[in-house]
């Protein structure tokens, strides 16, 4: 019984498995049948598409063959026309080529003939030239034999004539060159100066002379001057100068021919002003110390200026004399810096004219060296300066340029004229020199008195430090024409009677007015 129950139990377990397997078999079989149907349907559709494509291709071929036949029929006349045109062009070109070939052959023949004639003419010309030479030679021999003249004599005569003719032509050319040089001399000179000035970069010297001493207070004054100004004669004796005491403004002024001694006196007084007690011994000590320092400064300044201008082989005496120029002024312009400016300018101008620049710098630097010498040496500063540098080994052309820069000797070299030009440029530049208060007032008073001496002048105004004058005249007494005449007369008189550098501009102003009052009701 148990066996039957177990058999039924196993059968019950196997039934679901068997059913599942049978279900899978049925699904697979159905899928195969469905896939076969799809494949068959696809084959039918592919055959239909292929058949339709073949039919369309055949239709297109038929249409294209019909179109090509119609196009061929339409283009056939054009093609035949083009073929005819091409044939005509070919014939025309061949005809032109034939004509050109005939012309070219004719030109070649003509050129050959012409070349042959030229060659024959050249040969004839050579033969004729040879015959001419032979005839000239024979005629010359006959003339020489007939007149009994030697060949050398005729040659020398012809040579002399040619030399004279050449000399005459050279003289004419020289005169033309000189006239051209004179005509363009001013323009070329201005160009040289402009180029030199544009290359000159040294700053101008603003240093001005301090030839006086101002007391700070009464105590300093009493200490320095001593009882009854007894210390002033001692300082004058030790320093070799004159001291002017102005009690009104409390100042000391230093006077003397030697600028170095004046500087020595100024330094001595400045040092003594700081002492609490001043006597003869102290004055002598301070003066000795200041003199030593001053000589060292002179030596240093002399070496410095020679080094600045790159000058070699300058004697010790010349360098020391150049250093002494540091304390010399001309129209308030420091001569030490003035000589340096002239040296630089003269060197630049020399390089523009092809002259050795070092000689230009040398002559320009030494041109005012005579101003450093005291009154014990007689003569103008240009002459005594030239003699001094000549004794100390300077070359002749440099000595001549120094001596001639104020026309104490007639300038005869380019270097001398360049020193004159550089000296004028340094002294005439704006701000280089200026007049003292006394001389300026004298110049202004003189100009004003000249201008106001004319009738009709109502007022005169001096402007621009005496370089411009504006004159106002009475319009009722002075006409426009007379105003023009007055300006010329005043200018001429100022030129003749006044002493001034540069130029003065004079303007005469005449003004007339007309006025009237308008009224209503």
Q: Is the residue at 304 inside a domain?
A: yes
Same domain, 142 and 156: no
d(Cα 175, Cα 167) in Å, to the nearest integer? 12
Q: Is the residue at 516 inside a domain?
A: no
Q: Which residues contact 504 (CB under 8 A, 6 or more apart)?
A: 447, 466, 467, 468, 469, 491, 494, 498
Whether 261 and 205 have beta carbons less than 8 Å apart is answered as no
Q: Nearest 5 degrees, angle CA 175-CA 177-CA 178?
A: 65
pLDDT band (50, 70, 90) for residue 75: low
pLDDT band (50, 70, 90) for residue 369: very high
pLDDT band (50, 70, 90) for residue 374: low
* Averaged pLDDT score across all residues of the chain: 82
pLDDT, residue 327, reads 85
Q: Average pLDDT for residues 313-336, to the nearest whole number?
A: 87
pLDDT band (50, 70, 90) for residue 390: very high
* Percentage of the residues of the chain whose pLDDT score is greater than 70: 83
Q: Which residues contact 244 (CB under 8 A, 6 or more apart)?
A: 252, 253, 254, 255
Same domain, 157 and 131: no
Higher pLDDT, 299 or 38: 299
Same domain, 280 and 241: yes
pLDDT in tens, 423-457: 888 877 766 666 566 667 777 888 888 888 888 88
Q: Is the residue at 387 inside a domain?
A: yes
pLDDT band (50, 70, 90) for residue 298: very high
Q: Average pLDDT for residues 320-337, to the nearest whole number?
A: 86
pLDDT, residue 416, reads 92
pLDDT, residue 189, reads 77
Same domain, 126 and 178: no
Lowest-pLDDT range, 26-30, 297-301, 334-338, 350-354?
A: 26-30
d(Cα 380, Cα 370) in Å, to the nearest integer? 8
pLDDT in tens, 156-197: 777 888 888 888 888 888 888 888 777 777 777 778 778 777
Q: Is the residue at 433 inside a domain?
A: no
Same domain, 291 and 345: yes
Q: Which two tokens stand for residue 166?
A: 């050449």
Q: Average pLDDT for residues 301-323, to the nearest whole number?
A: 91
Q: Is the residue at 164 inside a domain?
A: yes
Same domain, 110 and 154: no
| CATH number for the domain that contains residue 475 | 3.30.300.20
d(Cα 367, Cα 345) in Å, to the nearest integer? 13
Same domain, 143 and 162: no
Same domain, 413 and 457: no
Same domain, 181 and 124: no
Could you tell me the residue range of the domain that residue 323 belongs to? 212-428
d(Cα 462, Cα 458) in Å, to the nearest integer? 14
Conformational region of residue 422, where left means phi above 0, alpha means psi within -120 to 50, and beta covers everything else: alpha
Highest mean pLDDT (candidates 34-43, 59-68, 82-91, 209-218):
82-91
Highest mean pLDDT (candidates 79-93, 132-146, 277-291, 325-339):
277-291
Higher pLDDT, 80 or 403: 403
Pick from 407, 428, 449: which residue ends a domain?
A: 428
Domain count, the chain: 4
CA atoms within 13 A on the CB side of 413: 19
Higher pLDDT, 180 or 154: 180
Q: Is the residue at 204 inside a domain?
A: no
Q: Is the residue at 63 inside a domain?
A: yes
| CATH number for the domain that contains residue 264 | 1.10.3210
Same domain, 484 and 389: no
Same domain, 122 and 223: no
Lowest-pLDDT range, 111-125, 144-158, 302-316?
A: 144-158
Residue 134 has pLDDT above 60, yes or no: yes
pLDDT band (50, 70, 90) for residue 407: confident
Q: Is the residue at 205 inside a domain?
A: no
pLDDT, residue 3, reads 58
pLDDT, residue 285, reads 92
Same domain, 250 and 363: yes
């Amino acid at each position: 019984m148990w066996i039957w129950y177990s058999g039924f139990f196993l059968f019950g377990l196997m039934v679901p498995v068997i059913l599942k397997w049978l279900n899978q078999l049925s699904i697979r079989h159905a899928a195969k049948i469905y896939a076969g149907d799809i494949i068959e349907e696809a084959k039918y559709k592919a055959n239909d598409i292929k058949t339709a494509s073949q039919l369309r291709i055949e239709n297109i071929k038929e249409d294209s063959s019909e179109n090509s036949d119609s196009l061929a029929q339409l283009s056939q006349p054009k093609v035949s026309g083009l073929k005819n045109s091409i044939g005509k062009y070919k014939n025309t070109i061949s005809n032109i080529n034939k004509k050109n070939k005939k012309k070219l052959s004719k030109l070649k023949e003509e050129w050959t003939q012409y070349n042959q004639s030229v060659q024959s003419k050249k040969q004839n010309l050579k033969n004729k030239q040879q015959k001419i030479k032979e005839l000239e030679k024979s005629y010359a021999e006959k003339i020489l034999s007939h007149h009994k003249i030697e060949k050398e004599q005729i040659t020398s005569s012809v040579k002399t004539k040619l030399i004279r003719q050449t000399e005459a032509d050279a003289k004419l050319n020289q005169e033309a060159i000189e006239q051209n040089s004179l005509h363009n001399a001013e323009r070329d000179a201005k160009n040289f100066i402009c180029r030199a000035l544009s290359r000159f970069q040294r700053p101008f010297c603003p240093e001005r002379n301090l030839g006086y001493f101002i007391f700070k207070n009464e105590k300093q004054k009493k200490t320095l001057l001593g009882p009854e100004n007894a210390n002033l004669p001692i300082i004058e004796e030790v320093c070799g100068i004159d001291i002017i005491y102005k009690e009104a403004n409390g100042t000391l002024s230093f006077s003397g021919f030697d600028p170095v001694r004046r500087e020595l006196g100024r330094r001595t007084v400045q040092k003594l002003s700081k002492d609490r007690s001043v006597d003869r011994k102290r004055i002598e000590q301070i003066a000795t110390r200041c003199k030593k320092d001053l000589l060292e400064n002179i030596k240093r300044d002399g070496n410095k200026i020679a080094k600045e201008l790159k000058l070699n082989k300058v004697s010790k005496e010349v360098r020391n004399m150049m250093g002494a120029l540091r304390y010399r002024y001309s129209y308030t312009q420091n001569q030490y810096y003035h000589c340096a400016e002239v040296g630089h300018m003269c060197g630049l101008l020399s390089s523009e004219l092809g002259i050795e620049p070092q000689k230009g710098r040398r002559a320009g630097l030494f041109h005012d060296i005579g101003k450093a010498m005291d009154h014990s040496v007689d003569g103008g500063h240009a002459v005594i300066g030239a003699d001094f540098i000549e004794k100390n080994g300077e070359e002749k052309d440099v000595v001549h340029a120094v001596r001639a820069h104020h026309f104490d000797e007639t300038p005869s070299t380019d270097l001398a004229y360049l020193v004159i030009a550089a000296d004028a440029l340094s002294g005439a530049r704006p701000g280089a020199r200026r007049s003292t208060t006394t001389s300026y007032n004298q110049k202004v008073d003189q100009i004003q008195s000249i201008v106001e001496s004319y009738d009709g002048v109502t007022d005169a105004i001096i402007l621009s430090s005496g370089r411009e004058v504006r004159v106002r005249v009475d319009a009722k007494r002075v006409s426009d024409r007379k105003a023009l005449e007055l300006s010329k007369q005043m200018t001429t008189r100022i030129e003749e009677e006044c002493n001034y550098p540069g130029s003065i501009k004079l303007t005469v102003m005449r003004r007339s007015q007309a006025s009237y009052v308008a009224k209503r009701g």
